[in-house]
Structure 1
Amino acid sequence: MSDDAGRALTYPEVGASRGTLPAGYRHLKVERVLGSGDATFRAAADRLLRWDMHRAAGLRIAPGTPPAAVGLEVRLEFGFGPLRLPAWCRVVDVLDEPDTRGFTYGTLTGHPEIGEETFLVERGTDGVVRGRVVAFSRHGRWYTKIAGPVGHLVQRRTAQRYLDALAGT
């Protein structure tokens, strides 16, 4: 939850991670089969919307943070041990349909990156449940610029860890 109401989104293409990804950013698309059936769908959607996916991937989120909802500002912390960097995001879209659940958040002032990320749990007509992460981003701070391609590899690995968490592995 935000303790600074003055934070602003850092990019103009709000909602673009749900459609055509904009030029001028790195693009990321990662998908995985999570299992099948209603119970798998409900459990994965719950882990996603309640931030358990992020926590299982190694990010810190304050206990008691409400489930994803449009307008919610959340402080993610990533790093190792006591060395943690804050990354503020705002939920800009929530999808709550019978066979698709998820949300999109965008980076706020002070985030190390600039861009947006969408997280989805989808159930196909065959009952197969898939998790999907779609993002566009570019460097937002000097230290992410120095990290170069390593930063993109970390982002891809984190997205894979998100999907592992949705699968319950």
Structure 2
Amino acid sequence: MRITTTDDDETWFTLADGADRSTVEATVRAALVAQRDRLDRVEIDIVSDDDWPVAVLDAVRAAEARLSALRSRGISLTLDPRRDADFGLALTLAPFSIGCSGYDDGGGGPVWSVNDTGTSATFRLTAAEASAVRRAVHGGGGDTERLIPVATYHLGRRDLSYDVVGGTAPSDERWRPPDGWRAHERTVRLGDGADLWEDASRAVLSWGVKTRSGFAVDPPPEPGQVVRAGERFWLVARLGPLRVREPVQVVEVVTTGRRAALAYGTLEGHPVSGEEAFIVSRSDDGTVSLTLRSLTRAGSGRWRALFPLVLLLQRRYRRRYLRALTLGAR
């Protein structure tokens, strides 16, 4: 699974591994509150993997009485989140149930799902809802960094697909590529001056070469935010009606008074295997240049047979990369 969206303002989120119990409970409840206005029903199993906490036993008894009154032999109770009493039950029990889901029956389908006493949770949030959830979790003392897009979660489970990590040597002026790789290096002059240096170095450290060449970055960086080594992204290329999603990891970031660079490597599932670096440098006379370096081998699986086509596309995009900051910086 890569990422699921229903429109430009909704994204599936989940909880990263290792979230502490207080963060889980705060996030599950905050997401339910944030989405309440668009939920038509919540279905919750009145069963827990562990003993119910003492603090929620009254709610458990109330839910079991509702099931008994319905003469239901099942374990699932349907609640109306527009009713305060029902919403209160869902809010109290959701972090501890073996399974519960919130539905938007107006076409959105399930938008909130919590299973296995909160250890598996996904929420389809708008940008405003995600912000509200983070505020609530922070206010409750939870770790807001644990709420991440599903895309990021699955990227974290992929390994780098090559072994010469750092092979593009973005901090070095002279490059000696490792043996056994298709190595490419090209430098173009962007211009001169302090303003150009600031603009170009900021752009190269925030995926500007990629985005100005037709790629989208998922998750998108915040305005003004620069990437950090170890971060993982999907780079999304549009080829006519198709979208190709490329999983990558930032392997090195360079920030000095004369050099700004981003190097990223391929993760499992990428169309090729290898590393690419975008390097902005400033010489003694103030000249600002962009250098592109790459190491490439065929990808695995279905991509291996498509390697000749991938190389053609790679050459096309390289031409765009070399123009990206020239056009964008002026």
Q: Same fold (TM over 0.5)?
A: yes
Aligned length: 168
1:128/1:95 CA distance change after superposition, 3 Å: same
CA–CA separation in structure 2 for the residues paired with 1:101 and 1:28: 19
Q: CA deviation at 1:20?
A: 2.4
Q: CA deviation at 1:85?
A: 1.1
Structure in which a larger fraction of residues adopt strand: 1
Unaligned runs of at least 5 residues, structure 2: 1-150, 170-174
Q: Is 1:17 paired with 2:181?
A: no
Query: Which residue is 1:31 aligned to?
Result: 187
State the SS of the aligned residue for 2:227. Answer: coil
The equivalences for 1:75-90 within 5 A come to 75-90=234-249
Q: Determine which of 220, 228, 235 is the counterpart of 1:64.
A: 220
**Could you tell me which amino acid in structure 2 is paired with residue 157 of structure 1?**
R
State the SS of the aligned residue for 2:306. Answer: helix
**Could you tell me which amino acid in structure 2 is paired with residue 24 of structure 1?**
G
Q: Which moved more, 1:66-75 or 1:110-119?
A: 66-75
After superposition, the CA RMSD in angstroms is 1.8
Higher Rg: 2
CA–CA separation in structure 1 for the residues paired with 2:220 and 2:306: 34
Q: Is 1:94 paired with 2:94?
A: no
CA–CA separation in structure 2 for the residues paired with 1:30 and 1:152: 16
Q: Percent identity?
A: 31
**Could you tell me which amino acid in structure 1 is paired with residue 152 of structure 2?**
S
CA–CA separation in structure 1 for the residues paired with 2:229 and 2:296: 20
**Could you tell me which amino acid in structure 2 is paired with residue 155 of structure 1?**
Q
Structure 1 length-normalised TM: 0.90
Q: What CA deviation, in whole Å up to 9, does each residue of 1:34-91 have, x standing for no partner?
A: 0101111111111211122211111111363252210110100113243011101100
Q: Is 1:103 paired with 2:265?
A: no
Structure 2 length-normalised TM: 0.48
Task: Report if the CA contact (8 A) 1:28-1:156 is conserved.
Answer: no
Q: Determine which of 257, 261, 273 is the counterpart of 1:114.
A: 273
Query: Which residue is 2:153 aligned to?
Result: 3
**Could you tell me which amino acid in structure 1 is paired with residue 194 of structure 2?**
D
Q: What CA deviation, in whole Å up to 9, does each residue of 1:128-168 have, x standing for no partner?
A: 100001000111043454341x4323223312211211112
CA–CA separation in structure 1 for the residues paired with 2:241 and 2:153: 21
Query: Which residue is 2:200 aligned to?
Result: 44
**Could you tell me which amino acid in structure 1 is paired with residue 265 of structure 2?**
G
Task: Report if the CA contact (8 A) 1:144-1:151 is conserved.
Answer: no
Q: Which moved more, 1:87-96 or 1:15-24?
A: 15-24
CA–CA separation in structure 2 for the residues paired with 1:24 and 1:79: 30
**Could you tell me which amino acid in structure 2 is paired with residue 164 of structure 1?**
R
Q: Which moved more, 1:78-87 or 1:126-135?
A: 78-87
